[in-house]
A and B are shown apart, each in its own frame.
Chain A
Amino acid sequence: MSALALLDGVTVVDLSTRVPARLASRLLSDLGAKVMRPTSLLVDGPELGADSNSRRAYTSLLDRGKVELRAEGVDDLWAGLSGADAVVLDEGSPDVVALLESIPDSRPGTVTVTPFGNTGRRSGWRGGDLIAQASGGLLRITGDADRQPMPLPPDVTHGVVGVQVAIALLSIVRNRRFGSVDDIDLSVQDGVVGILEGAVTPAQMAGTVRERMGTMHPSVHGIGLQRTRDGQWVLFGTCPRPAMWDSLADVLGRPEWSANERWLDARLRREDSVEVDESAATTIEALDLNDFYEPMLARGVPVGVVNDLQKVLSWDQIVEREFIDVIDGPEGRRDRAPGVVPRLASGNRKTSDTTTTKKTGAPI
C-alpha cells in the first residue's frame, strides 16, 4: 500500500470497535501516522457481521497499516497511551479514562465517537449506520419519490463521518502542540445532519422541506436516469449551461430540443421533467451506450453510466492512476482495496520525500 508520509511522527492509539472511528484511524495511517491498536483488548462491533469470513475481509481493510499495540496488561496499555498524540474511542471501547488521567505531563486528547453524542437527551441511544442515516435526515430524502426510502450501502454513511473523526483527531494533535488537551465528543448524527445539501437554508427561507426525488436534482434537470437499448442505466447530468444542453441534443440527434426555449433552461426543464424524460426515453431506448456516451463526454456533457464495482476496477481512469491497492488479506488472499486519498498532485516536483511504501496488512 502506498501511503503518504505527511503525518510522520504522529502517533494515534485506536481503541475503537465500530466503523467511523476505525476508518478514521485508518485514514490517518494512510497519511503516515503511526496508528497503534491493541487488538487483543477489542471486540469487533456487532454490525461488522456474524460471518467470520466476510468480517475478517472487512476488518483487514479497516485496519490496514495499523500496528499491534501489545497490551498484555494495564502497564502496556498505559505505556502505549502515554506515547500517543491522540486516542480514538467509541461506545465499544474499553474504559481508559483512569489510565489517561494518570499520565503525567500532557496526556493525549481523545475523540469519542457515539451514535448521538455524549450529551443531549438521546445521548444513550444506540445505532449503527442505518440509524445514522435515519436520524441524520439522509434516509428520508434518499430513494424514489413513489417508493420506500432506499438506504445507502452499509457503512458508506459511516465513512463520511469517519473522515470528520479523522479531522477531529488532527485538530487534537495540532492543539496539543500548543499546550491544550482536547477531548472531543463527536456525534455520528451531527456528522450526517451537517451534510444535508440544499436543505437547511431552503427550509428556513422558502419553507420547503426536501423529500425524496430519486435521481432528480431539486432545482435543475437534464434528461434524468435512462436505460439504453443494450440495458445500461445512464444518469444524465443537469446540463446547467445551455451549451451542454445543445451538445446533448446534437449528439442524440434531437436538434428540436435545443430550439425549445423552455428546455434550454435547466430550471424550466425541471418543471417539465416528466415530459422531458418521457421524450428522452424514446430516444435513449433506441440507442446503445456506445452510440452516444463517448461523444457526449468529449463535448463536455455531464453524463455517467451506472457502473458496478467490477467495471470500476477495470476502468482505465482507475487503472492508469493505480488507485486500487492489492494487499495481503486473510486466509492468504490478495485482496483489493481502495487506495489513499489524497495523493500528491502531479507535476514536476519530486515526491520521494513525502511518499513512503507500506506493505503491512492489518495487525494480527
Chain B
Amino acid sequence: MVDDSARSRGPLEGVKVLDFSQAWAGPLCTRTLGDLGADVLKVESDAFMDVSRTLGPFPASPDRDSSGYFLEWNRAKRSVSLDLRTDEGRASAQRLASLCDVVVENFSPGVMERLGLGYDVLHEANERLVMVSISGFGRTGPAKEHVAFGQQIEAVSGLMSLMTYDDGRPTKTGISWSDPLAGFLAALSVLAALEQRDRSGKGEWLEVSMLEATLATMGRAFALMNVGQSPVDEFRGGRHPELCPAGVYPTQGVDAWIAIECRDQAEWESLCRVAGVNWADRSEFSGPTQRLRNRDALDSLIASWTMNLDAQVLADELQGEGVPASPLLNIAELLVDEHLKDRGFWVSVDHPTVGKLVTAGTALPIAPATLASMPAPPILGSTPVGAGWP
C-alpha cells in the first residue's frame, strides 16, 4: 500500500489511517500522524460525532464544524460519515479498514468488538493492519470498565498527590494531562508497529492505557521512593527535591510571575550577580545543601527582589548571564511571541467556515509539502464514503 519513493510529505506519506477516536488523546494521536504525512480519515456520523464538536467555543452560534476544541486537534484529517449502528455503516467501515494501514480508536474496551470492528475481524481481512486502542485504565483488569476522563486519571495515578500546597490541598495540571501523554504514546506505538510490519509483513494490535501512560513519566517520583524518600513530601508546595533556588516568584503586575531554576553553583552565583547581592557569600546559602535547608528564607529574599521587576526584562537579563529563567507566559503572550514566530511554530489552516485559523504547533517537523497543503479540520462527512480510499 505504501509507495517507497521519496517522501515529500513526511515519513508517513502513503500511510492510510482510519480514525475512530474522539475527544483529545485519540485525535491528538491521529493529528500527529497526519502532520507526519499520513492520510487520516476520521469516522463520525450525525448521530455519533466527535464530542469535541460540541464543546466550543464557537465564533458565532454553536455549529459542529467550528468548535474551537475540535479545531485544535483535528487538522490534517478528512471526515467520512458512517453510522456504525447500521449494517451499511459497519460494512463500509470494515471495507475501509481492509484498505488502510492503521486503525486508531479510543472507545471503551469492547465497543469495537460489539460493532464488528474488533481486531480479529479486521486483521483477518487485512493482515498488515496496525491497530492502536487507547483507554483510560487498559483493556484488562478490574477497572477496565470504569469511566475515565483525564481529570480522574490525574487523581488516581498519584500525580495530584505530588501537587499539593503546603496545607495539603492537592491541585491538578492546567490541562487533562493524561490525554496528550496517551495520544503521543499511541502515535509512537503506530510508528513502532509500522517498523515491525515492514520487516514481518504483519500488523499488530497495541493498547495504551492513560493510567499507565501517566505513571510512565513519573520516573523521578519512583526514584525517590526507591531510595526510601516520600515523593509527596519532597514535592510539596511545588518544591524541587534537589535544586534551590528553583521556583516561581512574583513580579510587577497582576498575576505576573517568573520561574527561576538554578541547577548548579555557577548559575546560582550568576543569579546573585544579576541581583547585585552577596547571598552566595552567606553561609546559609553558600552550597546546594545549605540552600535546600534554608529554602524558604531564600525564596522570600528572591521574591522580595523580583516583585517590583518586569518579568520579561528580568528573564532577559538572567538568561543573558546564563541563569535559567522565564516569565510565566499565557496563551495570549505565546500567540504573539517572537521566538515562536521565528521558529514558524504555529500552523495556519484555511477553514471553510471559520476562515484563516492558527492551530497549535508541534515540536515535530512538518514537511513543507504537507504544511503548504495542510488539510483544515474537516467538515463532518465532507469526504464521500466511496472517495475514502477507492
Give CA–CA (A137, B257) in the complex, Å.
12
**Which of B10, B175, B248, B365 makes the CB contact (< 8 A) with A141?**
B175
> Does B388 sit within 8 A of A, measured CB to CB?
no
1/0 per residue B214-233: CB within 8 Å of A?
A: 01111111111111010110
A167 touches B69 (CB 8 A): no
Chain A residues in 8 Å Cβ range of B196:
5-8, 354
> Does A4 sit within 8 A of B, measured CB to CB?
yes
Nearest B residue to A5 via CB reads B196
A341 touches B120 (CB 8 A): no
1/0 per residue A118-132: CB within 8 Å of B?
A: 011110111111110
**Shortest 6 CB-CB contacts between residues of A and residues of B:** A159-B217, A141-B174, A49-B242, A304-B152, A304-B155, A201-B68
A166 touches B151 (CB 8 A): no
> Does B286 sit within 8 A of A, measured CB to CB?
no
Chain A residues in 8 Å Cβ range of B216:
159, 338-339, 341
Give CA–CA (A345, B331) in the complex, Å.
38
Chain A residues in 8 Å Cβ range of B154:
235, 304
1/0 per residue A130-169: CB within 8 Å of B?
A: 1101111111111110011111111110111111101110
Nearest B residue to A117 via CB reads B343
> Does A238 sit within 8 A of B, measured CB to CB?
yes
> Does A244 sit within 8 A of B, measured CB to CB?
yes
Q: Which residues of chain B from 153 to 178 have a CB within 8 Å of any chain A CB?
A: 153-163, 165, 169-177
Chain B residues in 8 Å Cβ range of A348:
120
Q: Which residues of chain B from 312 to 367 have a CB within 8 Å of any chain A CB?
A: 319, 322-335, 338-340, 342-343, 345, 354, 357-365
1/0 per residue A212-251: CB within 8 Å of B?
A: 1111010100000100000001110110100010000000
> Does A197 sit within 8 A of B, measured CB to CB?
yes
B226 touches A335 (CB 8 A): yes
Chain B residues in 8 Å Cβ range of A337:
219, 222
**Which of A45, A60, A208 makes the CB contact (< 8 A) with B57?**
A208
**Which of B24, B141, B200, B242 makes the CB contact (< 8 A) with A50?**
B242
Chain A residues in 8 Å Cβ range of B204:
6, 344, 354
Q: Which residues of chain A from 21 to 58 have a CB within 8 Å of any chain B CB?
A: 23, 27, 31-32, 45-51, 53-55, 57-58
Chain B residues in 8 Å Cβ range of A193:
334, 340, 345, 360-361
B195 touches A174 (CB 8 A): yes
A153 touches B206 (CB 8 A): no
Give CA–CA (A235, B131) in the complex, Å.
32
> Does B95 sit within 8 A of A, measured CB to CB?
no
> Does A287 sit within 8 A of B, measured CB to CB?
no
B170 touches A306 (CB 8 A): yes
> Does A310 sit within 8 A of B, measured CB to CB?
yes
Given contacts A201-B68, A306-B161, A347-B205, contact A237 B151 (CB under 8 A): yes
Shortest distance in angstroms between B243's beta carbon and chain A's nearest beta carbon? 6
Shortest distance in angstroms between B344's beta carbon and chain A's nearest beta carbon? 9
> Does B138 sit within 8 A of A, measured CB to CB?
yes
A sample of 10 inter-chain contacts (CB < 8 A) reads A57-B227, A122-B339, A172-B11, A175-B7, A184-B364, A189-B340, A201-B359, A304-B154, A347-B119, A347-B205
B343 touches A138 (CB 8 A): no
1/0 per residue A170-211: CB within 8 Å of B?
A: 111111011110101011111101111111111111101111
1/0 per residue A322-364: CB within 8 Å of B?
A: 0100000100010111110111111111000110000000000
B188 touches A170 (CB 8 A): yes
Chain B residues in 8 Å Cβ range of A252:
none
Stretch at the interface among B40-48, B179-187, B368-376: B179-187
B147 touches A205 (CB 8 A): no
Besides the known contacts A163-B181, A307-B158, 10 further A-B residue pairs in the complex with CB atoms under 8 A apart: A6-B193, A139-B257, A141-B175, A152-B177, A156-B217, A190-B340, A190-B345, A197-B179, A235-B172, A312-B158
A225 touches B170 (CB 8 A): yes
A215 touches B226 (CB 8 A): no
A199 touches B331 (CB 8 A): yes
Given contacts A178-B7, A200-B358, contact A344 B173 (CB under 8 A): no
Q: Which residues of chain B from 254 to 283 have a CB within 8 Å of any chain A CB?
A: 255, 257-259, 261, 263-264, 267
> Does B298 sit within 8 A of A, measured CB to CB?
no
> Does B309 sit within 8 A of A, measured CB to CB?
no
Shortest distance in angstroms between A44's beta carbon and chain B's nearest beta carbon? 11
B156 touches A312 (CB 8 A): yes
Given contacts A167-B188, A225-B170, A302-B149, contact A198 B69 (CB under 8 A): yes
Shortest distance in angstroms between B38's beta carbon and chain A's nearest beta carbon? 11
**Which of B142, B160, B255 makes the CB contact (< 8 A) with A306?**
B160
Q: Which residues of chain A from 285 to 335 have a CB within 8 Å of any chain B CB?
A: 297, 300-312, 315-318, 320-321, 323, 329, 333, 335
Nearest B residue to A20 via CB reads B363
**Which of A128, A159, A177, A190 makes the CB contact (< 8 A) with B181?**
A159
A341 touches B184 (CB 8 A): no
Chain A residues in 8 Å Cβ range of B157:
307, 312
A61 touches B339 (CB 8 A): no
> Does A263 sit within 8 A of B, measured CB to CB?
no
A167 touches B191 (CB 8 A): yes
**Which of A23, A147, A164, A196 makes the CB contact (< 8 A) with B184?**
A164
B339 touches A120 (CB 8 A): yes
Chain A residues in 8 Å Cβ range of B224:
54, 57
> Does A62 sit within 8 A of B, measured CB to CB?
yes
Nearest B residue to A209 via CB reads B332
> Does B293 sit within 8 A of A, measured CB to CB?
no
B11 touches A304 (CB 8 A): no
> Does B6 sit within 8 A of A, measured CB to CB?
yes
A148 touches B248 (CB 8 A): yes
Nearest A residue to B60 via CB reads A205
> Does B201 sit within 8 A of A, measured CB to CB?
no
A310 touches B206 (CB 8 A): no
Give CA–CA (A354, B199) in the complex, Å.
12
Give CA–CA (A346, B141) in the complex, Å.
11
Chain B residues in 8 Å Cβ range of A238:
149, 151
> Does B36 sit within 8 A of A, measured CB to CB?
yes
Give CA–CA (A195, B156) in the complex, Å.
21
**Which of A121, A131, A237, A333 makes the CB contact (< 8 A) with B226?**
A333
Give CA–CA (A196, B340) in the complex, Å.
15
Give CA–CA (A152, B324) in the complex, Å.
17
Give CA–CA (A114, B179) in the complex, Å.
24
Given contacts A138-B173, A354-B196, contact A305 B156 (CB under 8 A): yes
Given contacts A61-B223, A206-B68, contact A152 B215 (CB under 8 A): no
> Does B384 sit within 8 A of A, measured CB to CB?
no
B221 touches A190 (CB 8 A): no
> Does B213 sit within 8 A of A, measured CB to CB?
yes
